[in-house]
Amino acid sequence: MNNRALLRALFDAAVAAALPARIVPPHVPANTGSPLTVIGAGKASAAMAAAVEATHDWPLSGLVVTRYGHAVPCKRIEIVEAAHPVPDAAGAEAAQRMLDLVQTLGEGDQVLALISGGGSSLLTLLPEGLSAEDGAALNRALLHSGAPIDEMNCLRRHLSRIAGGRLAAAAHPARLTALLISDVPGDDPINIASGPTVADPTTLADARAIVRRYELDLPAAIHAALENPANESIKPGDPRLANSETRVIATPAASLDAAAAVARDAGLTVIDQGDAIEGEARDIGAAFADAAMAEQARLKPGDAPVVMISGGETTVTLPRDGRTLGKGGRCVDFLLGLAARLDGAPGIHAIAGDTDGVDGAAEVAGGIVTPQTPALAAKAGTSIAAAMEAYDGHGFFAAIDAQVITGPTLTNVNDFRAILIEPLV
């Protein structure tokens, strides 16, 4: 197996460890004799719903919303597709229908919520007084802000009628079990799809502080909503959450473990850098390049190659100077920072990809860097520096035929990175 194929095998193992068909069935509630209502949102939610249908043949129905292109056919659970990362009317309509559905349930009814990354945008239901245009402006501002995911989601939770525990509160007194696929550092359920089924300890004051910290340019209606006490989220200890249970059934750490097992089987030494890497993507890439070159300097001829693996969610802060930007995402921006610092260093290869198959807004998971990357770029009439200036990581890796393209993977445990380091002869 060549180095590119080996890196791709590690990425594929990370994705496979979180596939709904594998992880959902053991957690589906036992048949109590009463119908099961299934709801959900996220890039993996339709595949999760299909896994529920395949596991049990007892009465169930429901509604799940997923990203366009991520639907899986179901016979008893309705699947709706909507926009991500900027929400659209289809998502808002599905969110309202879902809220209306659970509000009809009573004591003795059972709800299964299937939640995965992407649900924040797919399940957008703004407070009264805010328009769809206000919501789109909020999401665009957040995506350009460089704010970490926990701060983005804090703001989203306080501008929603469904996030921040409100969906579970609406289902009370029915019994609700939530199955979550984590795509966030730390696996805190409140940050997975902005926590529609769990209590939120953050406050409106916290949300307003985030707006100030990142100087977000938001419509006046949003500022007003953040001053309205009616938009406070559901807090810990709220009795409406007493019948709710939340289980995180797939995590980035488990996917790293799966990739590590493949690497060890291939004779590599594994350095696990953790599943919660955050920070500016290209800066993290440069720091990882320094770590890889330092590790290579430590190796002796004949030593086993080393692979550094990591997960997490970096950020990309886009410039506000009016320049024309290309297409990019966290993973390819990380790789550009890495490649710029490596500058063709021999014996170091790397892959970075989003496990849902979508890096940024492009239908591309990520890319691969090799010692030949600078030369391939020059041959293609481009450069790493030019791509970084234009934030055009996807254009760059397309030009050198080094993209990682999977199509929708139907799961989402965030970004996966692996740096393969061979000893110098």
Q: What's the whole-model pTM score?
A: 0.94
pLDDT, one tens digit per residue, over 229-261 is 999 999 999 999 999 999 999 999 999 999 999
pLDDT of amino acid 32: 78
pLDDT of amino acid 361: 80
HEC-encoded secondary structure of the chain: CCHHHHHHHHHHHHHHCCCHHHHCHHHCCCCCCCCEEEEEECCCHHHHHHHHHHHCCCCEEEEEEEECCCCCCCCCEEEEEECCCCCCHHHHHHHHHHHHHHHCCCCCCEEEEEEECCHHHHCCCCCCCCCHHHHHHHHHHHHCCCCCHHHHHHHHHCCCCCCCCHHHHHHCCCEEEEEEECCCCCCCHHHCCCCCCCCCCCCHHHHHHHHHHCCCCCCHHHHHHCCCHHHCCCCCCCHHHCCEEEEEEECHHHHHHHHHHHHHHCCCEEEECCCCECCEHHHHHHHHHHHHHHHHHHCCCCCCCEEEEEEECCECCCCCCCCCCCCCCHHHHHHHHHHHHHCCCCCEEEEEEECCCCECCECCCEEEECCCHHHHHHHCCCCHHHHHHHCCHHHHHHHCCCEECCCCCCCCCCEEEEEEECCCC
Q: How confident is the model at residue 85 (pLDDT cuts 50, 70, 90)?
A: confident
| CATH number of this structure's domain 31-250, picked from the four choices 3.40.50.10180, 2.30.110.10, 3.90.420.10, 3.40.50.720 | 3.40.50.10180
Q: What is the mean pLDDT of residues 96-114?
A: 96
pLDDT of amino acid 86: 84
pLDDT, one tens digit per residue, over 208-219 is 999 999 999 999
pLDDT of amino acid 47: 98
Q: Is there a shared CATH topology between the 3-12+253-421 domain and the 31-250 domain?
A: no
Q: Where are the domains of the chain?
A: 3-12+253-421, 31-250
pLDDT, one tens digit per residue, over 60-79 is 999 999 999 999 999 999 99
pLDDT of amino acid 425: 85
pLDDT, one tens digit per residue, over 310-339 is 999 899 998 988 888 999 999 999 999 999
| CATH number of this structure's domain 3-12+253-421, picked from the four choices 1.10.10.10, 3.90.1150.10, 3.80.10.10, 3.40.1480.10 | 3.40.1480.10
